[in-house]
């Protein structure tokens, strides 16, 4: 029970530093660390195992405060979950539906077609549960900050006791990657906070990378298709340029 309370508290206190009013002091921001992501580059693809681990981090740590309103449970099959697994995950949640024949709203188990809901019924309830700060929806979190997944990874793994003389007020925590360097959210990820299904050691570094990769996918789930299409277009243009050049040479050869 205490273990669960720690997780809920960590996630509830303005997860990922993306809620309003978290910066309490001015200061320089440390540039995010650069990671060689599997999905980087023109031919990069999502590491399905990593993204699935990232979903587990979201589900067990972040979901107590943040929703994914642009992601449906069926979309989880795009990162390697089977249909039965996606249905089982959806079945763990309840969503409001209706009205029924009597005009009343009712709750039912979520289906594959449902979007992953916010844990709060409305914005005021979310603020009341988070000290007045609104925990944003995380669907586009990787697009919301300069540095994208590098920023998310650096922030989540960047808490340190070595403040280099920087003073943070009581109840705030030093993180050089956050604007102002002091934020109200305590470190949300701790070593062995969760137990990965695939047996991967759940270090803070690993969890930070995994959930950052997952949130990159939620922000751009069609990235792989876009890259494939771009490659095909480039190949087509190269072939077309070659054909046009050959045609031009043939036409001018006759004129000469």
| Domain that includes residue 246, residue range | 222-256
Q: Is the pLDDT of residue 4 over 70?
A: no
> Residue 173's CB: how many other CB atoms inside 10 A?
19
Q: Does one domain contain both 55 and 172?
A: yes
Mention every residue, 6+ apart, whose C-beta is less than 8 A from residue 101.
Answer: none
Q: Does one domain contain both 50 and 144?
A: yes
- Please check whether residue 10 lies inside any domain of the structure: yes
- Please check whether residue 74 lies inside any domain of the structure: no
DSSP for 2-16 reads HHHHHHHHHHHTTGG
- Please check whether residue 87 lies inside any domain of the structure: no
- Please check whether residue 103 lies inside any domain of the structure: no
pLDDT tens profile 64-111:
888 999 999 999 999 999 999 999 999 998 888 888 888 889 999 999
Q: Does one domain contain both 126 and 9?
A: yes
Q: Does one domain contain both 133 and 252?
A: no
Of 182, 136, 150, residue with least CA distance to 163: 182
Q: Does one domain contain both 145 and 198?
A: yes
Please classify residue 76 by burial: count the beta carbons closer than 10 Å to its beta carbon, then call 0-12 exposed, 13-18 middle and 19+ buried: buried
Q: How far apart are CA 55 and CA 51, in angstroms?
A: 6
Q: Does one domain contain both 228 and 163?
A: no
Number of domains in the chain: 2
Beta strands in 110-154 (DSSP E): 115-116
- Please check whether residue 109 lies inside any domain of the structure: no
Q: Does one domain contain both 142 and 253?
A: no
Q: Does one domain contain both 229 and 138?
A: no
Q: Rounded mean pLDDT of the chain?
A: 86
Question: pLDDT class for 162, splitting at 50, 70, 90?
Answer: confident
Q: Is the pLDDT of residue 6 over 50?
A: no
Question: pLDDT class for 2, splitting at 50, 70, 90?
Answer: very low
- This prediction has a pTM of 0.81
Q: Is the pLDDT of residue 25 over 50?
A: no
Q: How far apart are CA 96 and CA 103, in angstroms?
A: 13
């Amino acid at each position: 029970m205490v273990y669960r309370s720690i997780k809920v508290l960590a996630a509830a206190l303005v997860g990922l530093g993306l809620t309003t009013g978290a910066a309490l002091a001015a200061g320089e921001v440390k540039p995010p660390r650069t990671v060689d992501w599997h999905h980087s580059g023109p031919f990069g693809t999502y590491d399905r195992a990593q993204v699935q681990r990232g979903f587990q981090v979201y589900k067990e740590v972040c979901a107590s405060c943040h929703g994914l309103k642009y992601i449906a449970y069926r979309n989880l099959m795009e990162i390697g979950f089977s249909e039965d697994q996606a249905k089982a995950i959806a079945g763990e949640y309840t969503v409001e539906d209706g009205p029924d024949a009597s005009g009343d709203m009712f709750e039912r188990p979520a289906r594959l077609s449902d979007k992953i809901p916010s844990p709060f019924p409305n914005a005021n309830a979310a603020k009341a549960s988070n000290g007045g700060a609104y925990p944003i929806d995380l669907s586009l979190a990787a697009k919301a900050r300069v540095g994208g997944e590098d920023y998310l990874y650096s922030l989540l793994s960047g808490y340190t006791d070595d403040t280099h003389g920087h003073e943070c007020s009581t109840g705030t925590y030093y993180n050089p990657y956050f604007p102002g360097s002091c934020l109200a959210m305590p470190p949300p990820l701790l070593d062995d906070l969760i137990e990965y299904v695939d047996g991967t050691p759940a270090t803070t570094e690993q969890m930070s990378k995994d959930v950052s990769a997952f949130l990159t996918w939620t922000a751009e789930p069609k990235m792989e298709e876009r890259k494939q299409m771009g490659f095909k277009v480039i190949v087509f243009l190269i072939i077309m340029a070659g054909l046009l050049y050959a045609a031009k040479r043939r036409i001018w050869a006759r004129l000469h």
